[in-house]
Homo-oligomer: A and B are copies of this chain.
Amino acid sequence: MRDATHTTIEPGTIPLPGLLDIAAEALLAEFREELTNRGYADLRPTHGCVFRFVREDGMRLTDLATNAGITKQSAGELVDDLVKLGYVERTADPDDRRAKLICLTERGREAQRVGFGIFTELEQRWAAHFGQERFDQLRELLEQIAAEKAPAAVPELSHAALAGVRGE
């Protein structure tokens, strides 16, 4: 079927970035379908980065942006959206009158729980379908790749960075 002796990708082989994209998109599509089914059709994929990074005790826009790896203007727009939709609110920061703390509302916390729950379920479903061991190996390898190639995106390291190192 496939001839591994060629020095070039044969026509018909999808380049790896393409395969990764396809898998990511498929997973995201299933995620969004579930999210819609559970009554959160108004959330767009990009809103995820707020839910993923916002802390329980509130968070400044600048920190959110740094964590998510986007500009504060972009983060601000996402937060505006989520405020309109009732998922987060901006409260005054007691320590700094320029700043506002971004906090999840009750509905926001619910959405966060549901969202993380869906990811967990989906991974379990895919693992059962494609083979638990193969799937675990996939995640493990991807985590290693992420740690080596994009350390800023890996929470453990980026929290360390926030705690003073900020190397870069």
**Nearest B residue (CB) for A134:** B141
Contact check, B14 vs A155: say whether CB atoms are below 8 A apart: yes
Q: How many residues of A contact B (CB 8 A)?
A: 49
Which of chain A's residues 109-164 have a Cβ closer than 8 Å to chain B? 113, 116-117, 119-120, 122-123, 126, 130, 134-135, 137-139, 141-146, 149-150, 153-156
Tell yes or no: A9 within 8 A of B by CB. yes
Question: Chain A interface mostly helix, strand, loop or mixed?
Answer: helix
Residues in B neighbouring A135, C-beta threshold 8 A: 141
Contacts of A70 in B (CB 8 A): none
Question: Roughly how many angstroms separate A145 CA and B150 CA in the complex, as a whole number?
Answer: 24
Copies in the complex: 2
In the assembled complex, the Cα of A25 lies from the Cα of B24 at a distance in Å of: 12
Cβ 8 A contact of A146, one of B11, B14, B145, B156: B14
Identify which of B20, B117, B144, B154 contacts A14 (C-beta below 8 A): B154
A-B contact pairs, 13 of them (CB 8 A): A9-B120, A11-B155, A15-B116, A15-B119, A18-B52, A18-B153, A20-B23, A20-B24, A20-B27, A22-B145, A130-B141, A134-B137, A137-B138
| Given A15-B52, A17-B28, A20-B21; 15 other pairs, CB 8 A cutoff | A7-B120, A8-B117, A12-B155, A14-B143, A15-B119, A16-B24, A17-B27, A18-B52, A18-B153, A22-B146, A22-B149, A22-B153, A23-B145, A23-B146, A137-B137
